[in-house]
Amino acid sequence: MVLVLVIGDLHIPYRTPGLPPKFKKLLVPGKIQQIICTGNVCDRETYDYLRTIAVDVNVVRGDYDDKSFPFSQVIQHPSLKIGMIHGHQSIPVGDLDALSAMARVMDVDILISGHTHKFEATEFEGRFFLNPGSATGAWSGASMNETTPSFALMDIQGTVVVTYVYSLVEGEVRVEKIEFRKPIETPKPAPVPQQGLTNSPRMEPPAMAGGW
């Protein structure tokens, strides 16, 4: 079992001072093995904070990050592959068909993206698409609506991924559970080699009863 924190669009300190205190109480060191961040970390202090939660921190570059992070990344787990992008590469932004095309190019089972500041989880064409939203509830330039703070924890157990989505609604933490099972491809049977026919008398068809 591997517990993965999926988080992103923090925008600290430019749009918000920090994570909600109730989220910080949940994100304690020693329980999470890996972090996947969809970008817009924005400052070194926030990145260093993530490293106190888990040593294995993977970040892709958001549109407000410096050039130290890659635009995309693929993480290999024993039974599945996880792709990471910020999400602004998808045109239209958040479009499932566009994300699906990117997942096929990256050859991944799960594609994690952000940018919209809105949580979304969808299974499509045998793949799992996850957007953890904004963990700080930072406002999004694409919408005037209030952003609901959210993040996700993925419990990876072989080809089964159980995702727990944490959201802060009216000051209370709510949790939603989603399960994804990677489709298992049934191996095709090997073709039976065809033996060539000969003109041997032993290959003649049997005589019909009663003769001709």
Q: Give Dmax (Cα) for the chain.
A: 98
Q: Looking at residue 189, what is its pLDDT?
A: 67
Q: Are 80 and 156 in contact (CB under 8 A)?
A: yes
Helix (H) or strand (E) holding 104: helix 96-106
**Does 180 score more than 50 pLDDT?**
yes
Radius of gyration of the CA atoms of the chain, in A = 25
**Does 184 score more than 90 pLDDT?**
no
Q: Identity (one letter) of the amino acid at 131?
A: N
Q: Which residue has the higher pLDDT, 129 or 68?
A: 129
Q: What is the C-alpha end-to-end distance of the chain, expressed in Å?
A: 73
Q: Are 41 and 10 in contact (CB under 8 A)?
A: yes
Report the chain's mean pLDDT, rounded to a whole number: 87
Q: Looking at residue 11, what is its pLDDT?
A: 93
**Does 171 score more than 50 pLDDT?**
yes
Share of residues in the chain with pLDDT > 70 (%):
85
pLDDT tens for residues 70-110?
999 999 999 999 999 998 877 787 789 999 999 999 999 99
Q: Would you call 84 helix, strand, or coil by DSSP?
A: strand
Angstrom distance (rounded) from CA 192 to CA 114: 49
Residue 205: DSSP 8-state = P
Pairing of β 150-157 and β 72-77: unpaired
Q: Which residue has the higher pLDDT, 152 or 194?
A: 152
Q: Looking at residue 177, what is its pLDDT?
A: 97
pTM as predicted: 0.83
Name the range with the highest mean pLDDT among 8-17, 39-48, 154-163, 179-188.
154-163
Q: Measured at the alpha carbon of residue 19, what is the angle toward residues 14 and 23, in degrees to the nearest 5? A: 165
User: Does a cis peptide bond (omega within 30 degrees of 0) precede residue 205?
Assistant: no
